Structure 1
Amino acid sequence: MRQSMRDVFRTISMLITERLTYLYKWVILASAVGIVSGVGAIIFKELVEFSTYFFLGTIMGYRVDAGSGAITIERSWLIPIVVGVGGILSGIITYTLAPETEGHGTDSVIKSIHRLAGEIRSRVPIVKAVSTAFTLGSGGSAGKEGPIAQIGAGFGSLLGSLLKLSSRDRKILVVCGVAGGIGSVFKAPFGAGIFSVEVLYLQDIEVEAIIPAFISSIIAYVIFASVYGTSHIFSLGNISFNPIVELPFYFLLGIVLGVSAIVYIKVFYTVHFFFKKLRIKDHVKPAIGGVIAGLIGTAYPRTLGSGYEHIQLALTDKLPYFDYLTTPIFKILATAFTIGSGGSGGVFAPSLVIGGLLGGAFAKTMDMLFPGVSLNTAAFIIIGMMSFFAAAGKVPLASIIMVAEMTGGYELMVPAIVSSTIAYIISMKTTIYINQIPHRLGEKLVMLEDVYNIIVRSEPYLLQAEAEKIMVKPIAVLKEDMRIKDALKMVSKYNYRVYPIVDGNGIFTGYICLEELITASRRARDLSLEYMRIHSGLAFSKHTPLKKIIDEMINHGVDKVFITDDNGKLIGIITIKDILRFLTYKEIK
């Protein structure tokens, strides 16, 4: 009895210590990344503003009248030349020093997390900051989100490498860098935290990184706001929402924006792959894209730069109706040629301009068709920004929250959810971030789903095979009364990460991961496994048909299940590899 009580108190002590260790660790590490991200955001903003003042303001004489919305350009004939010069400078810096920084930086960060274990070269933040300053400052159609994400992520990766952290922890620090950079420069700490864990996947989020991401984002925001204040990016007047009258229109807006997002992505990557195939030196390609974007900007000046000033003009109803219709079309083209050619910049800001003005155009058009409705144009602009990027970037939660923080339009949450959900569903798996993967289990689960769909159409009878025909016998099984030190000694003989656990009668009780055993062994090596946190796992009878097993694996996002006999005793394990092997072999045979 005394031994049992000691084990209970030891378990409680271990759990508390684990929680505190986790808290201390990530408060310190995420705060460090947040501090650097906040300071980096300040430097980056000043660099972009100086470049903009020099290229657009001094050389071109570009001005936007805040009162009337009119654009004045003293030397408009210089626009293609200046944007082209920005492109060539960006191309030389990028392709000479860090070719991985070309294009929109967020996708490169996603790639580093999924394919490079979170490794980002230390020179990347500096190269990305300077090359983007040239692209944006010269009038290229791009945004700050990608570059600042790559700047923050670069420091997170560097810190993880210096401290010799595991690849898992380094990836979390990279996510913290994304959250800190975006949360500061867009003054949207909550939305940025969500964005950093949502943008990695098409239909999933990185749960383990949420708390560190919020810590980093808040710290970075506080530092940035201490210099530039806490005011919203966009000033918003009074807005209203009539659910009965307006909700159907927001539903229709979601359809329009979902289709528009698909068009945007298709145009973007058509241009991108055209430049990839172009047989000229990579350093020159952004200059060509810049010249073309400059020619578009000469005809339609509202496509120059990030375009935030035009959103503000639209929110105060100072844009002509014609500009609501034409600017999104030419902004799509200008963005595709600026970034798709290899220029450095983000796609978030152009997406907000495109989506916002499409929302405004939709509201004004509906008012013409249905004069008695009187829709609030500003509200539709805000919902347009949210919904368009939700569809294009596959980040519906982050889009809604970030735009609400940037505008203060919290009253529009209900129509935002309706429109963003519809736009997200319409656009399906089409995404501006091509390095996103569907789930945390990644390509293996996708492969299983693809094979499953093929088998359903061609050989459906194979899916009726029972589990006992596919399973493999478990080699390394732990007993719940084993001490942690004995369990570690046993698993050291094998090359597995997950180990099933049974009770004294061989009944399956769950599983435990190798890293959890290692962590626990540092504090309580003599503790029994039964006092540890054991994962329940998915268990099926040996008579369960394969179709049901695959459905449950896909629904729960797991890559292995456990098979029991009629008495609940563990008799086998089925992994994705086992299923693919079985289906492929049967199909060939």
Structure 2
Amino acid sequence: MQSLPEIGWRRVLLFPVLIGILSGVAGIVLHLSIDFFTDVCKSLIYFSNSDTIPYYLLPPVGALIAGIIVYFLAPEAEGAGENAAIEAFHKRGHIRLRVSGVKLIATSLIIGSGGSAGREGPLAQISASIASFISSKLKLREKERRVLIVCGMAAGVGSIFKAPLGGAIFAIEVLYKRDHEVEVIIPSFIAAITAFLVFGSVFGLGVIFQTEKIGFESPIFLLFYALLGVAAAFFGRLFINLLNVVRELFLKLSMPNYLKPAMGGIFMGVVAYFSPHSIGIGYEWVQKMIFSELALNIIIILLVGKIIATSFTIGSGGSGGLFAPSLVIGASIGGLFAEILSLVYPDVPFVYETFVLVGMAAFITAVAKTPISAIILMVEIAHSYKILPGLMIASIVSYALSGKESIYPAQVETRFHSPALRKELTVNILEEIYAMEAMIPREKIITVSPSDRISEVFNLIEKTGHTGFPVIDDRRLVGIITFEDVEKIPTSERNETVVKDVMSTELIVAYPDENLESCLQKLVINDIGRLPIVDRNNHLELLGLITRTDIIKAHAKKSTETHE
């Protein structure tokens, strides 16, 4: 794979600044748009006034309007924005610019009307769309386009969540379940911090949640944090399974696609009736849990309601993000765990809000497979490294127990499994293997003599299954004879014709220290099936032979060793 210096440092470092500026502006517009639609819907709903519209009827209305806009203008704007950006990186490498506008309006309608979704994911897709547009206009190469898509994701999450370091790490980590796109880490940092400064110039540079008594109690509490990790993994699996079931259900549902989000909105309305805390983004409830201001029964209702509401909002095709709901669910798990702990051990002193933050990190780790960014995000929020032990233990346990499934179907296992990177990685692997490692050594090669009859060579082909043989005369390589050469000789003349009369003497050769990528290019360009491996200083000395099959075997062996 190309390194950043090969792409061009100036271009890769300049463009992220541009992406960051535009993403920051897009974040401001998205935030204001969500606030506007939320205020409009609040003016229409009632909790006690019978002259206005019931709040639980608004989610299907907002989802219906959003569904019509999305499916007639930009169908790829449906669902979780994070997943769409991940898919663009691995497969298409391109997101239409119109997606950014459609995603912004549709997300604002969904969240504003009470749908359970987040704004970080949509902004990640919007920013990736802007990055893709710039890449197309500047006619950047595919590699550079993917770099800028990741920069857009980093800028989107890092700015609107007000955590640029965590947002950048999240963008390079969320692409894979067991890998990281480390080569774009510096451009991602630049884009994220730029977007954060632009967004912060309007909405402030402070963290998104306020904390007071963050700390680490004592080593004995590591056991409790490990148990919190187990709980996060359990609820993570539950959320992923429910989300996948809802997705499959709506995929099979026989109705126009633009109506499906409205159907999901109806289920959302039912959930909102029993759990009004589940509507919208839900960050206000996280803040209350951090300050220990929510009762145990409210936390349970929020936890269950948010899992169900988010599954139907996003699983039905509603436009939004899964990042924020996952944080709310994780905070609920942490708050619930802290409440239970206080009931079981009323005399044990512990920091309540630490469990809330650790719960968020552990749950994000479980459902998104992003342990490093989850830890960094919470440290940024807490402004303290004191919570690191709890964060690390809970996230490690959660990651280990959560299984391979993720809330983002577009995630792949490793870089090796990415369709976009597979070709680059294949070439890279071949460049690391030398001919001497893959060739058939001289002592195992079947050779023929210039004076052998063609009929004898034909019999040798039938006996061994090989279709070509080096021709050796007095230990010197003098030619190659293949099945194609033999086939040209009429059957009646094969007993009288000898090898030296039909063999190829203008040989394409390779050397022991030549890599397999170079060998493969020689085979393909010259349309031949085998390469003699000879001494660089003496082309008549045969050291080995290599075929395409040998290259494939060497590549497979190296790939297995690399990715086990």
Same fold (TM over 0.5): yes
Residues in 2 aligned to 1:375 and 1:505: alpha-carbon distance in whole angstroms: 75
In the alignment, what sits opposite 1:582?
none
Q: How does 1:148-159 map to 2 (within 5 A)?
A: 148-159=123-134
* Counterpart selection for 1:102 from 67, 75, 78: 78
Query: Deviations along 1:209-256, whole A, 9 cap, x unmatched?
Result: 111111111111111111111111001011221232211000111011
One-letter identity of the residue aligned with 1:37: S
In the alignment, what sits opposite 2:379?
404
In the alignment, what sits opposite 1:539?
none
- With over 3 angstroms needed to count, the CA separation of the structure-2 counterparts of 1:477 and 1:196, relative to structure 1, is farther
Q: How does 1:11-90 map to 2 (within 5 A)?
A: 19=5, 22-55=8-41, 57-61=42-46, 78-90=54-66
In the alignment, what sits opposite 1:309?
284
Residues in 2 aligned to 1:171 and 1:58: alpha-carbon distance in whole angstroms: 43
SS in 2 for 1:241: coil
Quote the sequence identity (%): 36
One-letter identity of the residue aligned with 1:179: A
8 A Cα contact 2:79 2:320, kept in partner:
yes
In the alignment, what sits opposite 1:570?
none
Residues in 2 aligned to 1:388 and 1:77: alpha-carbon distance in whole angstroms: 35
Residues in 2 aligned to 1:491 and 1:146: alpha-carbon distance in whole angstroms: 47
Residues in 1 aligned to 2:514 and 2:555: alpha-carbon distance in whole angstroms: 30
8 A Cα contact 1:236 1:409, kept in partner:
no
Residues in 1 aligned to 2:509 and 2:361: alpha-carbon distance in whole angstroms: 50
Residues in 2 aligned to 1:200 and 1:476: alpha-carbon distance in whole angstroms: 42
Residues in 1 aligned to 2:333 and 2:534: alpha-carbon distance in whole angstroms: 59
In the alignment, what sits opposite 2:141?
166
8 A Cα contact 2:213 2:351, kept in partner:
no
SS in 2 for 1:139: coil
In the alignment, what sits opposite 2:503?
none
In the alignment, what sits opposite 2:170?
195
* Counterpart selection for 1:266 from 241, 262, 270: 241
SS in 1 for 2:19: helix
8 A Cα contact 1:172 1:209, kept in partner:
yes
Query: RMSD across aligned C-alpha pairs, in angstroms?
Result: 3.6
Query: Deviations along 1:167-223, whole A, 9 cap, x unmatched?
Result: 111011111110111111011111111111111111001122111111111111111
Q: How does 1:437-516 map to 2 (within 5 A)?
A: 437-442=412-417, 477=510, 493=525, 504=536
Q: CA deviation at 1:432?
A: 0.4
8 A Cα contact 1:189 1:217, kept in partner:
yes
Residues in 2 aligned to 1:175 and 1:277: alpha-carbon distance in whole angstroms: 32
8 A Cα contact 2:46 2:54, kept in partner:
no
Query: Deviations along 1:327-362, whole A, 9 cap, x unmatched?
Result: 111110011111111111101111111111111111
Q: CA deviation at 1:410?
A: 3.5
8 A Cα contact 2:217 2:350, kept in partner:
no
Residues in 1 aligned to 2:368 and 2:440: alpha-carbon distance in whole angstroms: 42
Residues in 2 aligned to 1:479 and 1:227: alpha-carbon distance in whole angstroms: 63
Correspondence 1:283 to 2:258:
yes
Residues in 1 aligned to 2:511 and 2:277: alpha-carbon distance in whole angstroms: 66
In the alignment, what sits opposite 2:198?
223
* Counterpart selection for 2:367 from 392, 395, 410: 392
Residues in 2 aligned to 1:505 and 1:269: alpha-carbon distance in whole angstroms: 63
One-letter identity of the residue aligned with 2:20: G
In the alignment, what sits opposite 1:415?
390
SS in 1 for 2:54: helix
Q: How does 1:201-350 map to 2 (within 5 A)?
A: 201-350=176-325
One-letter identity of the residue aligned with 2:59: V
SS in 1 for 2:416: coil
8 A Cα contact 1:245 1:373, kept in partner:
no
- With over 3 angstroms needed to count, the CA separation of the structure-2 counterparts of 1:491 and 1:422, relative to structure 1, is same
8 A Cα contact 2:511 2:536, kept in partner:
no
SS in 1 for 2:386: helix
8 A Cα contact 1:91 1:287, kept in partner:
yes
Residues in 1 aligned to 2:136 and 2:380: alpha-carbon distance in whole angstroms: 33
Query: Deviations along 1:444-493, whole A, 9 cap, x unmatched?
Result: 9xx9xxxxxxxxxxxxxxxxxx9969xx99x88579899xxx99x97993
Query: Deviations along 1:280-335, whole A, 9 cap, x unmatched?
Result: 11111111111211121121111010100001111111111111222111110011
One-letter identity of the residue aligned with 2:36: F
In the alignment, what sits opposite 2:154?
179
One-letter identity of the residue aligned with 1:85: V
8 A Cα contact 1:106 1:149, kept in partner:
yes
- With over 3 angstroms needed to count, the CA separation of the structure-2 counterparts of 1:414 and 1:126, relative to structure 1, is same
- With over 3 angstroms needed to count, the CA separation of the structure-2 counterparts of 1:19 and 1:342, relative to structure 1, is closer
In the alignment, what sits opposite 2:329?
354
Q: How does 1:517-536 map to 2 (within 5 A)?
A: none
TM-score when scaled to structure 1?
0.73
SS in 1 for 2:525: coil
In the alignment, what sits opposite 1:574?
none
Residues in 2 aligned to 1:124 and 1:265: alpha-carbon distance in whole angstroms: 26
Q: CA deviation at 1:494?
A: 7.1
8 A Cα contact 1:76 1:298, kept in partner:
no
Unaligned runs of 5+ in 1: 1-17, 63-71, 448-465, 496-500, 507-542, 559-589
Query: Deviations along 1:112-133, whole A, 9 cap, x unmatched?
Result: 11111x1111111111000000
Q: CA deviation at 1:80?
A: 2.7
One-letter identity of the residue aligned with 2:22: V
Residues in 2 aligned to 1:443 and 1:481: alpha-carbon distance in whole angstroms: 28
8 A Cα contact 1:480 1:502, kept in partner:
no
- With over 3 angstroms needed to count, the CA separation of the structure-2 counterparts of 1:114 and 1:443, relative to structure 1, is closer
8 A Cα contact 2:111 2:280, kept in partner:
yes
Query: Deviations along 1:374-411, whole A, 9 cap, x unmatched?
Result: 33221100000011011100111111112322343542
SS in 1 for 2:317: coil
* Counterpart selection for 2:113 from 138, 142, 150: 138
- With over 3 angstroms needed to count, the CA separation of the structure-2 counterparts of 1:494 and 1:223, relative to structure 1, is farther
Unaligned runs of 5+ in 2: 423-437, 442-465, 469-507, 528-532, 539-549
- With over 3 angstroms needed to count, the CA separation of the structure-2 counterparts of 1:476 and 1:206, relative to structure 1, is farther
Residues in 2 aligned to 1:386 and 1:221: alpha-carbon distance in whole angstroms: 21
- With over 3 angstroms needed to count, the CA separation of the structure-2 counterparts of 1:19 and 1:338, relative to structure 1, is closer
- With over 3 angstroms needed to count, the CA separation of the structure-2 counterparts of 1:502 and 1:98, relative to structure 1, is farther
One-letter identity of the residue aligned with 1:79: Y
SS in 2 for 1:411: coil
Correspondence 1:556 to 2:562:
yes
In the alignment, what sits opposite 2:494?
none
8 A Cα contact 1:80 1:290, kept in partner:
no
One-letter identity of the residue aligned with 1:112: A
Q: CA deviation at 1:277?
A: 0.8
8 A Cα contact 2:217 2:351, kept in partner:
no
SS in 2 for 1:205: coil
Residues in 1 aligned to 2:14 and 2:555: alpha-carbon distance in whole angstroms: 42
TM-score when scaled to structure 2?
0.76
Residues in 1 aligned to 2:176 and 2:77: alpha-carbon distance in whole angstroms: 21
Correspondence 1:120 to 2:95:
yes
Query: Deviations along 1:113-158, whole A, 9 cap, x unmatched?
Result: 1111x11111111110000000000010000121000000001111
Larger Rg: 2
